[in-house]
Amino acid sequence: MRRLLVAIALFAAAGLVPAFAANATPTYDTPKALLQALYAPYSVKDFDWGSFDEAGLRSKALNALFDKDLKEANGDVGRLDFDPYVDGQDYEITGLKIGAPTVNGDKATIEVTFKNMDMEEDMVFALVKEGGGWRIDDVNSKGGADPYDLLDIMKAPLAG
């Protein structure tokens, strides 16, 4: 065991440990930190969405539904044909406000408001604490043209 600890210390000193850490699931200590991480890429011009892995932001249960959707869609469009975090396929986010969370043990809700291309958006995120940090478990869009519940969409039968 001591040799393992010495090896890890040597790797860390050589700068080799961060390669392992880069593959770790990020941990968000507060609901607000999680949502700030979620919305940060939307403010970057020409963000490379191919490099963005939102699975680390979602709960195990929500990830299981996304995995099921991907498998059942078999390369076609699945249950979602829009970005549920901006309520659209395109985005131009302005006036982002992340509210104060209501925390009840390992669950929390938090409201997020913004304009997406001048459309008022009002979303309530249901979060769970798992794996040492906060994760998205559901999203309810209360505003926009078509209010929705992400879990309802992901649990529904695949259209087709």
Query: Cα dist. 122→86, 99, 157 in Å?
Result: 10, 11, 26
Q: Does the pLDDT value for residue 7 go beyond 90? A: no
pLDDT tier at 24 (50, 70, 90 boundaries)? low
Rounded to two decimals, the pTM is 0.83
Question: The tokens 């969370």 sit on which residue?
Answer: 101
Question: The tokens 């970057």 sit on which residue?
Answer: 44
Question: The tokens 């930190």 sit on which residue?
Answer: 33
Q: Does the pLDDT value for residue 87 go beyond 60? A: yes
pLDDT tier at 6 (50, 70, 90 boundaries)? very low
Interatomic CA distance for residues 27 and 86, integer angstroms:
23
pLDDT at 65: 97
Any idea where the domains of the chain sit in the sequence? 27-155
Q: What DSSP state is assigned to residue 146?
A: S
Domain 27-155: give its CATH code. Answer: 3.10.450.50
pLDDT tier at 8 (50, 70, 90 boundaries)? very low
Query: What mean pLDDT, rounded, does the chain reach?
Result: 85
pLDDT at 143: 73
